[in-house]
Amino acid sequence: MKRNLLLIILTISMNIYSKENTIPYAETNELNLCEEWDKTFPRSNRVTHKKVVFVNRFGITLAADLYAPVSATDTLLPAIAVSGPFGAVKEQASGLYAQTLAEHGFITLAFDPSFTGESGGTPRHIASPDINTEDFSAAVDYLLTCPEVDSARVSILGICGFGGMALNAAAMDTRIHATVAVTMYDMSRCNANGYFDQENSEEARYGKRLQLNAQRTKDVRDGHYSVTPLNTPPADDAPQFMKDYYDYYKTPRGYHPRAINSTSGWNVATMLSYMNAKMLNYTPEIRSAVLLVHGENAHSCYFSKDAYARMVGGVSSENKCLHKYAANKELLLIPNAVHTDLYDKTDIIPFDTIASFLKR
């Protein structure tokens, strides 16, 4: 009798505790979405398209394009959340990838990251290794609520800087079935060490911190944020990859008025947080499948090569088994391709290989 009474009291206490220790889910804010087809690529008649919104765990409402195959099916479909490149919008490369992979039989969600494009978040034109990684998990949240999605086969695909964000999400989110990172940038490594690790020293990082924090002081005194002009007309002796960025973002090929890289540029101080973040630190612990795709002539190719090497090999004193999840990791190098070729050149982007990998 006493035991039963104790169980009843315990059950009531737990119910009261669980109700008092919950937080309401964030409300969806209304966004001003463009309903016209304003993409940098032609619309496909083989897929359906609609605008949708969802909320991340920071309470930011994200805008996305949802694509699905036109052909009717009685079975649940695999799904992919897509974002990138860094500073781009869903009307550019990520939308092209999403629409094309929908033609291959996936439900796809191309989203604008927080503070970018049609998505919410203020101030604008900033980035965060934490929040933007969360954006991928929030997209997975949304896809798992879609009745036509196979919840066991929800994958993510990140392009350029969001390739690194996708790997970071895969290391954290065990619901992700597989990850594809295309022409990947490790934004934390690039900001902390400079291109090709040429600024990888305490003194170089300290100099950048001094400069960026001085900018923070100036911003708060001025009452507004300064931005970094991006992709200005390159000089004749500029690195070829800078000319390639200009050719994509500032010409009819890839220009979009909502893209940071096509317009005003990033908040100057936004990269401070990336210098302290070790975004790809736990990628060797990713148990799910990963495909890295990179142009072999891309200036950024070393990011994918190094990330792949860490996921498939190496032994450390802390973890003797870093290689044990290597069997489902792949690196695909595209001959003669440069970084921006994999943004929109459909004749060399390996869509069939990506689709086959994700279905497998």
Mean of the pLDDT values across residues 136-147? Answer: 97
Sign of the dihedral defined by the CA atoms of residues 278, 260, 231, 99, in that order: positive
pLDDT in tens, 188-230: 999 999 999 999 999 999 999 999 999 999 999 999 999 988 8
Helices 351-359 and 93-103 sit at what angle, rounded to 10 degrees? 60
Spatial separation of the C-alpha atoms in residues 79 and 101, rounded to whole Å:
9
Torsion on CA atoms 166, 250, 125, 115, rounded to nearest 10? -50
Q: Do residues 44 and 85 lie in contact, with contact meaning Cβ atoms separated by under 8 Å?
A: no
pLDDT in tens, 288-320: 999 999 999 999 999 999 999 999 986 554 555
Q: Is the pLDDT confidence value at 176 over 60?
A: yes
pLDDT in the model for residue 168: 98
Q: Which two tokens stand for residue 212?
A: 């960026």
Q: Considering the chain, what is the average pLDDT of its residues?
A: 92
**pTM (two decimals):** 0.91
pLDDT in tens, 58-101: 999 999 999 999 986 778 999 999 999 999 999 999 999 999 99
